[in-house]
Structure 1
């Protein structure tokens, strides 16, 4: 079955029993964060019972956590009275994460100029193991609501940024990422075969950029460019997304690739 979700899961977020038994690990903080994480795949307000089920706690414990988080402004009642929603104070932390991230701060003016030049959507994603997480989304003429939001993520195995990032990783690490990914398709064109993906990662390594056609959204053409830190490790990627109804592959490459490579070089080794 094809997927339409725009939130992928990272493979590095499972806390082990050994980590939980550490004397420095605070279980109450874990529980509070699990309540906030319960909304990750919600399509609307959650009832107290749904929050308890998603967090694996009993209703009484969930009620205490929700009450505390409501008091602090991190959860609020749905105006229609249908349950609970994340509160606006969470946005304070989103702002902090973006404004204090050195790559986001350094990349923003470069990507604003890139968007003016290519006149297509420009995104900056951050590498998070099995997924890439959008930290900047600079829109153009045709976008839907979800394409405007930071925080959305897509799997590393089938995204332009993911291929660009994997092209800068050792082969054994790339294979490990692919084997741990669920590799469920988003469109009929999504590559799910490991050997086929590895071949495209190798081509990306040789060219210095990736090009994906309809991997996550049908009819979308996206070029990806790896972004490296001071140690030469891939930490993110630039994505430039256009429509296959407006561009041939060759024309798109000629239009965006030189500018994308230049931008990636400008913000790498920050």
Structure 2
């Protein structure tokens, strides 16, 4: 099976490393010739080009571009594909992608690997990035079974945990556990930076350790990715932000009113609740 990858960054490059190691022929496309050459040198692809015509021989194509470029990429790609070619994407929002691509290409399966790092680009690509991580597929009632089965085979070969759900269910779920944390983490960093006393700020910077590192990591990631989460999952993100703001207001009220019993009850609930999300 020939695998095509459009976008040779962290996710695309990591997919290439893993799929090549499983014996697949991998063809990559990037906007920059330098990236193509680095992807070849790193062993992420067998061949790479800035021209989408390279993917005419692909049986499956992963679109690993930013969310804002997926639809335009597919439109440019379609003239070069065989009718049987299966398309999938790796975007963190699914409803808008599935709604825009499915009418253009029936062999499309929305996808989202729940894996990544704070780094980006082909140099950040790594083997086994997806092993043990969730990988969501969002087929619709009209998705051809062979397309679903082929993607399931590839996802399982990565060692990922496969999940199926509706695009809209995916978007509401990731708003809670992926998109909201980015905004919360970003706000935490911004709040710390708003300290006006230089001595306090300098001391805070010096004392920041594992707790701050853990809670600020996703807020210090790729700004473009955070923007795409907000732009393409706007309603679900606003819903989760409103709920989070309500929880913060409850904490503020408890501290202002010195309601220590109420505060400890809330902290006990979150202590117990965390295990539901972090296995």
* Superposition TM-score, scaled by structure 2 size: 0.32
Structure number with higher strand proportion: 1
Structure number with higher helix proportion: 2
* Structure of larger gyration radius: 2
* Superposition TM-score, scaled by structure 1 size: 0.33
